[in-house]
Amino acid sequence: MGRFAQKFAQLQTQNQGAFVPFVTLCDPDFDRSFEIICTLVENGADALELGFPFSDPLLDGPVIQAANNRALQAGCSSKESFELIAKVRSKYPEIPIGLLLCANLIYAQGLDNFYQSCAEVGVDAVLVADIPLLAAEPYIQTAKKYGIQPVFICPPNADEQTIKAVAENSEGYTYLVSRAGVTSAENQQSAVNLDNLIEGLKKYGSAPVLQGFGIAQPQQVKEALNLGVAGVISGSATVQIIEQNLTDQTKCLAELADFVKKMKNATAL
């Protein structure tokens, strides 16, 4: 049983949903990023979703775009990102780790090299944000070759065929996007048909569903879990705390700790 499956099984016995923060690796630099990730884990994060710094992120709004730029300006590439994951995995052998990144970062290294590196540093799952299911077969096969779980996004406008394909191909977890558009903590609107999408994914045997995009408040965590998802992902709201405290790491870590505790407390079912 993989780390995500173990975590979801554990949470189910505890009557809890999952709280999964997202951060960009090496934001604002390697050492501070490691401290940030440790703070997330030690204050209640059930799993981690991590992004590789990239100059042209497709799904990200201004907050996460800025995080990418900070990491790149700090000299962090995919090499340093893998090194940081290895350091996190060494300290936290049980935490599930998923990556969310763009295909160019994988293609530049070659699929085999990339997924082999993921396996070597202890990544559990990889979501390639800009690869549609129609073009995903090489990524799926290479991921599985190295024991990495492929994850796919279920968009808010998904039709029956898309829901079925996402459910059948996602492993570890399934990423349900709350609404159309890019990532943002400010835009907290959700699509009106999320309950139908969740029901459809479950009908086709989907991996546990995590809802993301605009999750910034404990009340939203409760609302999402009430719809039937297994947990939530919070990216922009998490990264915004880093952005607001770039000159004071102690304050940054304290605010992140408080945020994670509040969001995790809201996962009690």
- 26: its two tokens: 């090496």
245 CB contacts (<8 Å, ≥6 apart)? 251, 252, 255
150-154 long-range contacts (CB < 8 A, ≥24 apart) are 150/125, 150/126, 151/98, 151/125, 151/126, 151/127, 151/175, 151/207, 152/127, 153/127, 153/129, 153/177, 154/197, 154/201, 154/209
Active-site option among 29, 42, 56, 60: 60
| 258 catalytically annotated | no
Active-site option among 27, 29, 42, 49: 49
The Cα–Cα gap between 51 and 74 comes to 15
| 171 catalytically annotated | no
Task: Quote the radius of gyration of the chain (alpha carbons, Å).
Answer: 17
The Cα–Cα gap between 5 and 18 comes to 12
Among 3, 35, 12, 73, smallest CA distance to 229 is for: 12
- 136: its two tokens: 């995903």
Catalytic residue numbers read: 49, 60
